[in-house]
Amino acid sequence: MGSSDRLFNRQRSVHEILGGGLVADVILWRQKNLTVGILLVTLAAWVIFEKSGYTLLSLVSSVLLLLIVILFLWAKSAAILNRPSPPLPQLHLSEETVNEAASFIRTRVNNLLSVSQDIALGKDSRLFFKVAGYLCLISFVGALTDFLTLAYTSLVIVLTIPALYERYEDYIDKYIILEYRKLQQLYAMIDEKCVSKLQKWVLEKRKLG
C-alpha cells in the first residue's frame, strides 16, 4: 500500500512511530518473553492488590520496612562477627543531577501554568473544550473503576492494540479510509441539502428585514 492508502498518509511504520527501540519491540511483541513477563508480573501485582486488600502505599511501606530491618540486622551482626557490611552503593545525588532535575521540572511546571492561565483567561477556547472533555472522560472512567484496574487495563491495551494493528494494518487502514470517505460523502450531502438551504433562508430573512 502507498502512503496515500495509509491512515494520515503516514510513510513510517508502526515500529518507527513508536521510537524503534526496546519499548517499541516490547509493545509490538518482538521481544515476546519480555512482553509476556511484563503482563504476568502486572497481572500478579493486580491480583495481589485486589485479593489481599493491600494498597500501593501500604505495600511499598511494608517492603521498605522489611528491607531496612534486614539491612540493619545484617550491619549489626557483621560488626559483632567482624564480617563485611552490606554491599550498598554510595547513596548520593550530585549537584549537577539535582540541577538538571530541577530545571526539567521547572520547565514543565511553567508550561503547565502558562497553559492553565490561557485556559482560565479564555485565550484559547479550543484548548479549554479539549481539556474539559479530557477531564470529563477521566472523571467518568474513574467512577467506573479503580486506579489499579485502570492501569492494568491500559497496559493490556498498549501491549495488544498496536501489535494487532501492525499485523492487520493493511485491512484496518483500508476499512477506516473507506468509512471515512463514506462519512465525507454523507457530510457533503447533508451540507448540500440542509446547511446550504438553511444559509439561503437566513440570507433571505436578512434581506427582507
Q: What is the pLDDT of residues 97-134, one digit of tens each?
A: 889 989 999 999 999 888 888 887 777 778 888 888 88
> What's the grid cell of residue 122?
479564555
pLDDT, the chain, mean: 82
Read off the pLDDT of residues 23-58 as tens digits, 9 standing for 90 and up: 888 888 888 899 999 999 888 888 887 777 777 778
Domain-by-domain residue ranges, the chain? 11-53
Rounded CA gap, 70 and 86, in Å?
Answer: 10
Residues 6+ apart with CB under 8 A from 157: none
User: For residue 2, what pLDDT band results from cuts at 50, 70 and 90?
Assistant: very low
Read off the pLDDT of residues 180-203 as tens digits, 9 standing for 90 and up: 888 888 887 877 777 667 767 777
Residues 6+ apart with CB under 8 A from 142: 150
